[in-house]
Structure 1
Amino acid sequence: MKYILSVFMGAASYGILSTIVVLAYGKGYELGEVVGSQLLTGFILAWILTFIMKWREKRNISKRMESRVKPTAVSTRLTWKQRLLLMAAGAPTAITGLLYYQSLRYIPASLAIILLFQFTWIGVLIQAIGQRKRPSGVMFFTIAILFGGTMLAAGIMEQGTGNFNVMGVVLGLLSAVSYSMFILFSGKAVPSVHPAYRSAWMITGGLVLVFIVFPPTFLFNGQLWGDLLLYGFLLGMFGAFIPPVLFAIGVPHIGEGMAGILGASELPVAVLLSSFVLNEHVSALQWIGVIVVLVGVALPELIKRRKNGLNRRTGISV
């Protein structure tokens, strides 16, 4: 249960971000300042965690040597090629943040998170094209459910499409594409390295990219020491630090399939906060759409588990 709760809380942390960003915009801060302060906080926290882990490893090795126990070989050193690869893999998460946060300037947070969640079928499409493999019937059915739920959750059934800002919708969908690329690349980039080290270098790559696109003038003009410090700290904690740590703790014990289901907790948390904190109107029909989207996210894993259960009971090996 503690591992399930760990992954659930990690995903729920992501759901807090859109509300914090809208509040930061309300204080007059710009996109580069918001994303830059977030990644800077995540960068500092990730490297503090990394250095603590290295110190603990060295201490444990010293104790084992003193007690004449052969130390377990744990490779924490990375070549510069591996570091650059991880930094490149971290770039899509920075791009996702830029696109997603910019969409919040044009559309409600409750709609932006729905668009971001289109990564669930976009990722399947990208994999199918890359592997030249047609998705299964279950996946087509799942995508149909996700589309239907999205139309309900976005309010298209009630309002039509005329009330939506085209730029905001495009940015939201592009953030979903970028997030899909991040998921695909991050899992393949130096997987043998401990998640804490991988996360630190990936955040570093994202930070460098954002600082190139948006030079960090807020570090020198005094803005950082105002409300931006609070917003950046909250965004860094809930967006760049806490989720990777909690996922690293829980995912190995519950599996990627269950983690994907629990990861959907980001959606209702974001919609709830946009409704209660930002006072955005979310109708009953839109809430039904959110539930349908959650069902669509969970459906493939639930069907897989049901098949595995039936196969075990009938003695069929898979």
Structure 2
Amino acid sequence: MQLLLTRTQTGSLCAICAAFLFSTKAIFIKQAYALSPQVDATVLMALRMASALPFFLLISWLSRRDYSAVQAKDWGLLILSGLMGYYLASWLDFQGLMHISASLERIILFLYPTLTVLASSILYKQKLRWASIFAIALSYGGTLIVMLQEQSSSPHGSNFWLGASLVFASAVAFAAYLLTAPRLMLKFGSWHFTGLALSIACIGTLAHFALAVPAPLQLMQQLPLSVFAYGAALGLFVTVLPTVLLMQGIARLGAAQSAMIASVGPVLTILLAVAFLDEHLNGWQWFGCLLNIIGVLMISLSKNKLARAD
């Protein structure tokens, strides 16, 4: 008997697979850092984006469209958006992961929908509803519980707060990207915008690597082959494939249902961190994680929220 999936089932499967693949990012990064002292955020980001660039260029080419309605300022905003959302945000995230656990990194990053709501409230001078304020308080309160519990037993000392701050700055940068994305998607089309923005981010990352690292080619020759394997995995299985799957999920389910499925992301990362990185969360941290997820879901799924977080 031939198995045919409905549109909703296909969308759900795409969203679940995307959530799982995104959840592996911090695991791959942590494992790559442990392979060689020469591997830092800039090096690993370059390997990731070099692997992803050909695919995003192909997406850009296949989804190209008429640019007659696109103005110079739209191109400028596209370049800024790509650099902000997938170059700066990713680099800050990779840097932060050098100092905090993979579990905490995922929980902090999960706050980005609350940041889009707060930013929209300020930009459009709209008053936040009490439900939104309560949801934001839940998510940040839960995150703070997890942070304080980890900080008390952190082996990194003073670098813990640096790492947490870098990851939160990454969430801010990604939220800024999300605020510009809807308008640009209308101008360029969702697929074409994604391909262009991520291609720009890849090129920006490679330029950063070439300028910031002394003798970059010599460094590449000294890296273990396993580091290149992790870089390729980050590019293909944690960047390109989940991005395509998530867009397919949103197209079939809508942003709200996709956001609900994506809420399993922090839990998946924590479980993977326990299995592969020997990280452990105590009862208070699981409680904080639950508050974080509930608060972010309330924001993401609210029909009357101030800004969409997709």
* TM-score (normalised: structure 1): 0.79
| Residue number in structure 2 paired with 1:101 | 94
Give, in angstroms, the shift of residue 190 of structure 1.
4.1
CA contact (8 A) 2:132 2:299 kept: yes
2:183 aligned counterpart, secondary structure: coil
Paired residue for 2:17? Answer: 9
Letter paired with 1:9: C
**Partner of residue 286, structure 1:** 285
SS in 1 for 2:285: helix
Distance 1:194 1:41 in 2: 24
Supply the distance in 1 between the matched residues of 2:247 and 2:146 (Cα, whole angstroms). 31
Q: Distance in 2 between matches of 1:84 and 1:300?
A: 30
Residue matched to 1:176:
171
Tell me which residue corresponds to 1:128: 121
- Cα deviation for residue 77 of structure 1 reads 4.0
1:244-264 Cα shifts (integer Å, max 9, x gaps):
211221212222222222222
Deviations 1:246-285 (A, max 9, x none): 1221212222222222222221122111121110121132
Q: In terms of mean alpha carbon deviation, does 220-229 or 96-105 score higher?
A: 220-229
CA distance in 1, matches of 2:259, 2:66: 30
The residue that corresponds to 2:182 in the other structure is: 187
Flag structure 2 segments of 5+ consecutive residues without an equivalent. 1-8, 305-310
Within 2, Cα distance between the matches of 1:296 and 1:50?
35
| SS of residue matched to 1:233 | helix
Superposition deviation, residue 213 in structure 1: 2.4
> Distance between the aligned counterparts of 1:27 and 1:160, measured in 2?
24
Distance 1:103 1:146, change over 3 A: same
Paired with 1:299 and 1:110, the residues of 2 have a C-alpha distance of 21
Whether contact under 8 Å (1:14, 1:266) holds in the other structure is yes
Q: Is the 8 A contact 1:99 1:174 kept in 2?
A: yes
Range with greater deviation from structure 2 (226-235 or 42-51)? 42-51
* Equivalent residue letter for 2:91: L
SS of aligned partner of 2:184: coil
Equivalenced residues, count? 284
Q: Which residue of 1 aligns with 2:82?
A: 90
Alignment of 1:31-110 (within 5 A): 31-51=41-61, 53=62, 76-78=65-67, 81=72, 83-92=75-84, 93-110=86-103
- Residues 157 and 3 from structure 1, CA distance in 2 versus in 1: closer, same or farther, beyond 3 angstroms? same
**CA 120–300 in structure 1, closer or farther in 2 if over 3 Å, else same:** closer
| Map of 1:296 onto structure 2 | 295
Tell me if structure 1 keeps the 8 A contact 2:109–2:167: yes
Residue identity in the other structure for 1:46: F
Report what 2:135 is aligned to: 142
Task: Give the 3 Å change call, closer, same or farther, for CA 145–50 of structure 1 in structure 2.
Answer: same
Query: After superposition, what is the alpha-carbon deviation per residue over 1:180-230, rounded to whole angstroms, capped at 9, x for unaligned?
Result: 112112222242434332222111211222223221755564257822321
3-state SS of paired residue (1:200):
helix
Query: Is 1:20 the counterpart of 2:20 in the alignment?
Result: no
Partners of 1:132 and 1:80 in 2: CA distance: 27
Counterpart AA for 1:262: I
**In the alignment, is the contact (CA less than 8 A) between 1:146 and 1:292 conserved in 2?**
yes
TM-score (norm 2): 0.81
Matched, 1:199 2:209: no
Output the CA distance in 1 between the equivalents of 2:119 and 2:246.
24
Q: Secondary structure at the match of 1:107?
A: coil
Q: Is the 8 A contact 2:102 2:273 kept in 1?
A: yes
By how many angstroms is 1:99 displaced? Answer: 0.6
SS at match of 1:290: helix
SS at match of 1:114: helix
Paired AA for residue 270 in structure 2: V
Alignment of 1:225-244 (within 5 A): 226-244=225-243
| Amino acid corresponding to residue 165 of structure 2 in structure 1 | V
Counterpart amino acid of residue 105 in structure 1: M
Q: CA contact under 8 A between 2:92 and 2:166: conserved in structure 1? A: yes
Change over 3 Å in CA distance of 1:300–1:107 after alignment to 2: closer
CA contact (8 A) 2:149 2:284 kept: no
Deviations 1:138-158 (A, max 9, x none): 100101111222133335399
Equivalent AA in structure 2 for residue 104 of structure 1:
L
Q: Residues of 2 paired with 1:183 and 1:80: CA distance? A: 20
1:296 positional shift: 1.5
Root-mean-square deviation (Å): 2.8
Q: Which of 30, 35, 38 matches 2:40?
A: 30
Q: Which has the larger radius of gyration?
A: 1
Partner of 1:58: none
